[in-house]
Amino acid sequence: MTDKKPVKDFATDWDHTDPKWVNDPYPIWQDLRERCPVAHTDRYGGGWFPSTHEVVSAIANDTEHFSSRLVVVTNNKYPEGSPPAPIGGAPPITSDPPFHALARRLLLPAFAPGPINALEPQIRALCRRHLDELSGEQIIDAASQYAQFIPPGVIAHMLGFPSEDGEIFRDFVHVVLDLIDLSPEVRAPLFVPMGEYFDQQIADHVAHPRDDLTSYLLNVEVAGEKLSPEHVRGTMVLILIAGIDTTWSAIGASLWHLATHPEDLARLVNEPDLMPLAIEEFLRFYAPVTMARLVKDDMEFAGCPMKKDDWILLGFPAANRDPEAFEDADKFIIDRTINRHAAFGLGIHRCAGSNLARLELRVAVEEFISRYPVFELDSSKDVTWAQGQVRGPRHIPLRVPV
Amino acid sequence: MRVSIDTEICQGQGRCFSIAPSIFDFDELGNGVVIGDGTLSDETLSLARLAQSNCPEHAIFIEE
Ligand code: HEM
């Protein structure tokens, strides 16, 4: 990482890669909510961070004043070769209306509950296989030896990529989502291997079409025309990146919670009917995904003088901890029955993969606690959390029964 | 008493048909739909209210 000045006041100089924010952002957001609900920074070329549910929701639903052209905050607001709005580099997440609806509609049927629920046996088998590999071990890393394997396996299957390529996907995710604070000249070359990998997969699917999402995207027609190659590739990259780190972060955070809250672990083991409520509370409390927007034109919004192309760091996780929107917002309540959380976003960009994410999270937790009805953190090693816009534990050292 | 989903507001968050599968279903895009004409009984009203209070988009409406 580059050498940076530590943040003194997050209200006027926020930085989501500052170690304080990375380790424990919740008190920072609570403080901002109380004294400066929309914080500002000059870092990254200038931007705003709303910390209340009300403002996060207003921005997510206002595509007239805020663009999704870029959804990851970096030091470069005008990356070379990135298609302009309303399409952007990774449709539909980088698209604005009216193009967005078209790009999104293409994807939704494959991610609707019907086809997704059919994957359950396969996901369960994947989880069991990885648990089997850990048998006999007393100390395991629930992140790098379990959670991180589940989503890549599922995504490789959906896109029709070799199942053993999961390790490669991990590197791609790291470049796109973690290494955000590098200068554009250092960052750009890191994208080359990912580009080459996708070229190769696309060429293989053109030569040998098959029943998977890649072949579907290559062949689907909109108004009599196939999608542009940039669109196909952008959507594939999106699915790979959006489908992996997000979900393993959610699985990891949930297992970390259970390791540090034995009373919740015991309840979940003894009352499996609680699982649907518990899953929504894991998602609310440890919401892993923060997105970005760009301000379209100079304007005043929520009392702030916003400038064209200012970043907005759209903190769905912060919205989920707002006491105005949730009773006892800072308490994890495993059987919370009223839970309008925004972990999958709000408005037209609602996570297209939410049915899959929920399924993976539920099955991964179910299989883990059925194999290990008791487990605890191994205090000799540290739990580390990912920095950047997707938050989850990278390492969860656990002591498990043999 | 009737329940309905405003399809302009619904984004397919998927909460209603998980919480109350006897009242809500999903379409081929994964958006929520009301089963039948949405008439609620005294017994199903509370379930519909629970789904309503979990909809992140505030897309569910109940006429009493
Ligand atoms: C727990 C896991 C996940 C979380 C918390 C999550 C969260 C999000 C959020 C907050 C957005 C909204 C983006 C915005 O407003 O700019 C989003 C969009 C999206 N997600 Fe996820 N996601 C998860 C898993 C997945 C999975 C497994 C996939 C697919 C394989 C996926 C695919 C997408 C796509 C395609 C979009 C763009 C939708 C659009 O722009 O219309 N996500 N996700």
- Tokens coding A230: 């940039």
Q: Residue A340: which of B11, B28, B56 has the nearest Cβ?
A: B56
Tell me the shortest Cα–Cα distance from A157 to chain B, in angstroms.
21
pLDDT at A144 over 80: yes
- What is the mean pLDDT of the segment spanning A253-258? 98
How many percent of chain B have pLDDT more than 90?
A: 97
**Mean local confidence (pLDDT), A16-37:** 96
**Do the Cβ atoms of A105 and B54 come within 8 Å?**
no
In total, how many domains does chain B have? 1
Question: Hey, is the C-beta of B18 within 8 angstroms of any chain A C-beta?
Answer: yes
Looking only at the bridges linking them, the beta strands covering B24-26 and B32-34 are: antiparallel
Average pLDDT over residues B33-50: 96
The confidence band for A176, taking pLDDT boundaries of 50, 70 and 90, is: confident
Residue A303 pLDDT more than 60? Answer: yes
The per-residue pLDDT of chain A, averaged, comes to 94
Where does the pLDDT of residue A3 fall: very low under 50, low under 70, confident under 90, or very high at 90 and above?
A: low
Residue that wins the pLDDT comparison between A123 and A167: A123
Comparing alpha-carbon positions, the chain B residue that sits nearest to A277 is B19
Domain that holds residue B27: 2-63
Compute the distance from residue A198 Cα to the ligand 1 centre, in Å: 20
Task: Provide ipTM, 2 decimals.
Answer: 0.97
* pLDDT value, residue A32: 98
Partners of residue A47 on adjacent β-strands: A41, A311
Closest protein CA for atom 7 of ligand 1: A344
pLDDT (0 to 100) of residue A182: 77
C-alpha distance from B57 to closest chain A C-alpha (Å) = 7
Percent of chain A scoring above 90 in pLDDT: 82
Cβ of A339 under 8 Å from any chain B Cβ? yes
Residue A2 pLDDT: 53
Q: Does position A185 have pLDDT exceeding 90, yes or no?
A: no
Which of A241, A246, A281 to mutate for ligand 1's pocket (most ligand atoms within 8 Å of CB)?
A246
Whether chain B has a CB inside 8 Å of the CB on A354: the answer is yes
Quick check: A265 pLDDT over 70? yes
**Which residues from A are below 8 Å from B16, CB to CB?**
none
Over range B9-35, report the average pLDDT. Answer: 97
Cβ <8 Å between A109 and B28: yes
Domains of chain A from N-terminus onward? 10-399 (1.10.630.10)
pLDDT at A84: 84
Distance A265 CA to ligand 1 centre (A): 27
| pLDDT, average across residues A368-395 | 91
| pTM exceeds 0.90 | yes
CB contact under 8 A, A340 and B55: yes
Residue A301 scores a pLDDT above 50: yes
Contact indicator for B6, B21 with CB cutoff of 8 Å = no
CA distance A187 to chain B (A): 34
Reported as a single tens digit per residue, the pLDDT across A312-330 is 999 999 999 999 999 999 9
Q: Tell which atom from ligand 1 comes closest to the C-alpha of A361.
A: 1
A279 lines ligand 1 (CB under 6 A): no
Q: Do B13 and A113 touch (CB under 8 A)?
A: no
Ligand 1 pocket member A93 (CB < 6 A): yes
